[in-house]
Amino acid sequence: MAQRKQWTAQEKLNIVLQGLRGDVKISELCNDHGITQAMYYEWKNLLLTQGTRIYERGGVDHERERLEKENRKLKETIGELHVELKKTTGSPAEATPEAVIPGSAA
């Protein structure tokens, strides 16, 4: 049994763009690339429905990058606070608000 080709995002985009240009019939394009017309139209519909995300504020990847950066900074801050707490109290389990922040009696 033949193994199915795994198309990269760039390959899918190139095939759909070829079809949108109209230089070749969709049936010929699909035959040339060994895909079904249903697959082509699925890729085309995905591009047309999800393509707007590229132009949204911040873009698709920028939002994820921002969140990952924020996550790293928060983890770093937690680590620094943990070390500081351990220095102050000797053990994080023994920490109380009064021990960490003088004058913060509950």
Residue 4: predicted pLDDT? 78
Cα 15 to Cα 46: distance, rounded to the nearest angstrom = 13
Residue 106: predicted pLDDT? 46
What is the pTM for the complete model shown?
Answer: 0.52
Residue 64: predicted pLDDT? 77
The residues spanned by each domain of the chain are 7-55, 61-106
Cα 92 to Cα 89: distance, rounded to the nearest angstrom = 7
Burial of 86 (0-12, 13-18, 19+ CB in 10 A): middle
DSSP for 19-68, please give it.
HHHTSS-HHHHHHHHT--HHHHHHHHHHHHHHGGGGGSTTHHHHHHHHHH
Instruction: Give me the residues of the chain with pLDDT under 50, please.
Output: 106
